[in-house]
Amino acid sequence: MARVAAVVPAAGKGSRMGAKKAKQFMELAGKPLLSHTVSVLKRVAEIAEIIVVVPPGGEESAIKDCLLPFDLQSKCHVVPGGAERQDSVKNGLLKARELGADYVLIHDGARPLATPELFRKVYQKTLLHGAAIAAVPCFDTVKKAGENNLVETTLDRSRLWLVQTPQGFELDFLLEIIQKACDQGYYATDEAGLLEWAGKEVKLVPGERDNFKITTPEDLRLAQCIKGGLLLTRIGQGMDVHRLVKGRKLVLGGVLLDHDLGLDGHSDADVLTHAVMDALLAAAGLGDIGRWFPDNDPAFKGADSLELLARVCGELVKEGWRPQQISATLMAQKPKIAPHAEKMRGNLARATGLGVRDINVAATTTEGLGFVGRQEGMAAMATAVIQKINPV
């Protein structure tokens, strides 16, 4: 029985993405783009081995960041790439031959939306024809341009196809052609182009519109929509307690209340805002306010908690998150909170960049029970929902 391997070229720099990291390692719906691609390949029973080709020196980090966290390491092999895509594919093919493969399916690491069925269709046609590639008909009008981007002519779109991957080949046959091309200094933009150069036939297999290559920030945003990445959310909870003492101002949600007792603390002791900060930090996995604003740091003595909240939101943005919704409940026996709740919502909205409707502030007494009921202190609880920012 024929043995098939998949080779995943993922060694490019992704310069057209304009990002700090290569596009194949950027996040899509909660995990690296490359992880999505490998995950699809793992669902194709016909594929015996998966060879992932990454930038030289990046093998260990690819395994640690893209495979192990998602339990994708079985039957996966990571090898270093070369200077050009063709060199990287060649390295992958050599590994596939070492693993005893007869056929190979080559699939771009930056095409995470292909379905397992597409791989099966291309593989079946490869068995019949020796070489087969996924492609979709061109529905747009295509113009050929000359100098200064002036239109020269309109091409006949009825015979035009937009080529995708996977591309399937007999392994030894492709390896022979790719070696010959490299020796002669010929570099194609895809493996089918090498067969054309060698005068060989390639079968077209109807591809999938969603199987586009992620090349630009716009492509990544579209992929996020398809994968649900724009809706990727996390939820965090926060709680804070402060003692009531004489001689302190009472600040809640940034509102100064007229009361004979105030909350004790290193900063302004705004227990409501502190709970909100802790909820946001928890949602992003960034610890708590004690870590960010220690109570033994003179820099935060008497600090305005709304300003600290704005700083927390800035830290979230650095990590690729933004607040989406906040619900906070204050537990206090006195004074009455309801008359001030709307102003508190407005203050929290300005500090977080949210709309007032995205923030709820509620208050309750404890019916005279516990330290809150005895007016020894106040407590607050908050729940925060944060949303992933498109990583472009």
Q: Which residues are annotated as a binding site?
A: 240-242, 266-267, 274, 288-290, 293-297, 364-367, 371, 374
Q: 276 φ, ψ to 5°? A: -65, -45
Terminal-residue alpha carbon distance, the chain = 44
Cβ-Cβ contacts under 8 Å for 329 (sequence gap 6 or more): 361, 362, 363, 364, 380, 381, 382
Question: What's 334's DSSP letter?
Answer: S
Please give the Cα distance from 310 to 324 (Å, whole number): 14
Please give the Cα distance from 391 to 25 (Å, whole number): 11
Binding site residue list for a divalent metal cation: 240, 242, 274
Distances (CA, A) of 62 to 44, 52, 180, 340: 21, 9, 30, 52
Query: What is the token pair recorded at 205?
Result: 């297999």
Please give the Cα distance from 236 to 316 (Å, whole number): 13
Residue 45: closest CA among 100, 120, 129, 125:
120
Q: What residues pair up with 233 in beta bridges, in sequence order?
A: 387
